[in-house]
Amino acid sequence: MKVTVSWLKKYVDFSYAPDDLAHRLTMLGLEVEGVKQVVYDFTNVVIGKITGIEKHHQNKQLSICQVDVGNESLSLVCGAPNVSLELKVPVALVGAKLPGDVTVEAATIHGYDSPGMICSEAELGLSNQSEIVMELSEDAEIGKDLQSYLGEGETVIEIDVTPNRPDCLGIIGVAREIAAITGEKLRKPEININESSSKEIKEVINVTIKNPESCPRYTARYIEGIKVGPSPRWLIQKLEAVSIRTINNIVDITNYVMMETGQPLHAFDYDLLENQEIIVRHASQGEKFTTLDEKEHTLTDKNLFICDGKKPIALAGVMGGLNSEISANTTNVLLESASFEPLNIRRTAKSLSISTDSSQRFERGVDPEGMVYANNRATQLINELAGGEVYGDVFDCFPRPAKNREIKITVESVNNLLGTTLVADEVVDIFNKLEFKSKKENGFIEVEVPSFRVDIEREVDLIEEVSRIYGFDRVESNNFSNIPLFRIPKNEEKFNQITRDQITRLGYNEIITHSLINQKLAEDFTTKNTIKLANPISEDLATLRTSILPGALQVLKWNKNRKISDHQLFEIGNIFYLENKDLSTRKEYKKIALIKTGNVGKNSWLNKSRVSTFYDFKGDVLSFLGSLGIFNINSALANLKFLNEDESVNLFCDETEIGFMGNLSQSILKKLDIEGDIYVAELDFDTLFRKYNWDKKSQQVPKFPAVQRDLAIVVNQTIKWEQVEKYIWEISDDLLMSIELFDLYRGKQIEQDQKSFAFTLTYQSNEHTLIEKEIESAISKVLENLKSKINANLRA
């Protein structure tokens, strides 16, 4: 963002030297990248007055101009179309030095001697206007050196405006910051439009916003009978100083007001619009459009169009179209000032590789309450510089008005954070200088945030405003903030760390993977609808993960390919999906994933390693849950397409599902190109958090001995151990402490369609020593229940 010192002084009085001003702006958070003086790179150029004109007898496009330069009259050949009698122009005399190492010499042009030249602004390095000669005002003194007449060049300050301060992408916004530290009043240009009393804009245009989520507000004004031509010198000087290319008076005025207010505007040639209508809508998928730079673009249904009754006429917030641009033949103008959703404009500009002054402002957010002022300001300037008749009123389509934010703040919170001793009146005064409405109420300062400050959302944002205007350099170096350096963590944060600690103690290593994965993988690990990115970086990062497992398995695969075969990994992270295809039904849940593969233990002279089994992994999962105080775990056969049907279960605690565990299916392993059994589990973090018991109570060491009984039962081949366990707990009383499976047998001693489970039951009482009769009664109940429920028999 470039501003000039003289332009700033139009809106606020200050006496800072340019370097001092640059320092103060930087201290306000508007970092100045450089200060530059615009100098005039020409010499021996004087002011002349055209006193006579005749056409060249050989070339009718040339004129022979008699020019009074004070001490003599020169006969100069000129091809510009705007030369006229009494016009005052710059004249480069013989020997004059012009930009680009050009030295003016006497020349003979088509038989006529021309001892000098009448200059355009481009030839003098003042602007890019090269087709017409520079027109000077009537008060210009004939024969006077042009540099002396123009005075000192502009002092340009270049500011690196942070994305959260779009209000400072207009010179009035920067002037407001200066006014806040100087105490001077901000002077915004007054609007005084000479409107028609008999003609209303609604007679010539109607505006419809079909996608208000992308265009919250659209305003328009109509000026009839304007004359397109070159801009006056003062306007060209301001725009050229801030690197805005000048085109004609209408386009230049829209750019001038954009730089002044920060609100982009666009002018349409009204006579090129059809059906007296403006429609704001999303493009159709694949729809094509040619912008002002003569490039054709293929659009998506996310891009926003400004259309007339039949066709698109502008790519909203980015660039206008060739089919409605202002030209020398334009006589009627429709002036647009609108607000567009920042994310939509940013996506459009990025996807089409178009970056304009307009898009850069809309991407950051414009003031929804400032666009009527900007439209009126541009209308006033057009009426003054291009004539025409202004139709009455502004067409204002505002389907989604927003209320300004209100935030409460206390002086104590300001002083505690900044280490200052400010009083309430000083804080209120700072807010008022920044045009924040504020008042003291019941020990608070109630602040209404103006619409142009889109960055202010919380109390701490207001405190930052106080610190900026009060001045960081005024805070004593020996002051200290009175804010606590230690914050008591919330229970969820504590549980997060407890979870990590307990899994790590089981020998698992934590990994962190990307939340974006391949679309096909996301679908393989869920039955829900996936959430796809509109503009992904690549196909492998196109979809939000529906499970933590796909990303973790890629880590495991990477390690396996490097001969690291034994893995115990875990990750805690969020998963995402849609309840149905509507984006508003998106869900996000925190999960804990565990993965185990490879061998248990290491080969040594004392022990030999062995391949991990489902039961090893089940022991890890149950041990982890037990460490959280979650013991009443039940299981049921799982039906998950990515798990082996014979070794997969859903886990429950008190009938609440907490997750699943199992062995990955061969189809998934083949798709991932991974060999070997891989055991996985995914548990719901929030459910475990709710089940976790924060009240730790010690238990008395049992005074009486425990009694163990080993049972081997024969069941049908289809019966799972989880079913057996369930029916044992179901019939047992408080004397049963634990059940441990220690053997599974299939062989000659039992039928082919049967198998044998051997397990140890541990009984114990806290009141007395158990007798044999009690144990036998408990065992009998277990065997009877197993017989009736799953036809289990005691193995002989």
What value does the mean pLDDT take over residues 472-478? 76
Gap between the Cα atoms of 239 and 225, Å rounded: 25
Task: Express each pLDDT in 618-668 by its tens digit.
Answer: 999 999 999 998 887 888 888 898 999 888 999 999 889 999 999 999 999
* Burial (Cβ within 10 Å: 0-12, 13-18, ≥19) of residue 294: exposed
Gap between the Cα atoms of 443 and 455, Å rounded: 25
- Spatial neighbors of 178 by CB under 8 A, at least 6 apart, are 8, 12, 14, 21, 24, 25, 184
Question: In the predicted model, is pLDDT for residue 482 greater than 80?
Answer: no
pLDDT for 685: 96
Question: Element (H or E) spanning 320, and its range?
Answer: strand 319-320
Question: Within a 10 A sphere around the Cβ of 239, how many other Cβ atoms?
Answer: 21
Gap between the Cα atoms of 416 and 412, Å rounded: 6
What value does the mean pLDDT take over residues 154-161? 93
pLDDT for 483: 64
- Residue 620: phi and psi, rounded to 5, are -65, -45
Task: Express each pLDDT in 322-333 by its tens digit.
Answer: 999 999 999 999
- Residue 493: phi and psi, rounded to 5, are -65, -40
Question: In the predicted model, is pLDDT for residue 108 greater than 90?
Answer: no
Single pTM value for the model: 0.65
Q: What 3-state class would DSSP assign to 116?
A: coil
Please name the amino acid found at residue 223: I
Gap between the Cα atoms of 531 and 518, Å rounded: 11
What value does the mean pLDDT take over residues 524-539? 87
Please name the amino acid found at residue 245: R
What burial letters (b/e) apply to 555-583, b meaning 16+ CB within 10 Å? bbbebbeeeeeebbbbbbbebbbbeeeee
Task: Express each pLDDT in 585-628 by its tens digit.
Answer: 889 999 999 999 999 888 888 888 899 999 899 999 999 999 99
Tokens representing residue 654 in the block:
């008190």
- Spatial neighbors of 47 by CB under 8 A, at least 6 apart, are 69, 70, 88, 89, 90, 91, 136, 140, 141, 142, 143, 144, 145, 146, 149
Residues of the chain with pLDDT > 70, as a percent, come to 99
Gap between the Cα atoms of 783 and 365, Å rounded: 73
What value does the mean pLDDT take over residues 107-111? 85
DSSP assignment of 447-474? EEPPTT-TT--SHHHHHHHHHHHH-GGG
Cβ 577 vs Cβ 531: under 8 Å = yes
Gap between the Cα atoms of 312 and 327, Å rounded: 18
pLDDT for 38: 83
pLDDT for 484: 67
Question: In the predicted model, is pLDDT for residue 480 greater than 70?
Answer: no
Cβ 691 vs Cβ 653: under 8 Å = yes
pLDDT for 589: 94
Residue from 261, 391, 401, 290 nearest 335 by CA:
391
Cβ 543 vs Cβ 550: under 8 Å = no
Strands 707-716 and 793-794, by their bridges, are antiparallel
Cβ 681 vs Cβ 661: under 8 Å = yes
Cβ 419 vs Cβ 475: under 8 Å = yes
pLDDT for 594: 97
pLDDT for 633: 85
Residues constituting the chain = 796
pLDDT for 369: 92
Please name the amino acid found at residue 267: A
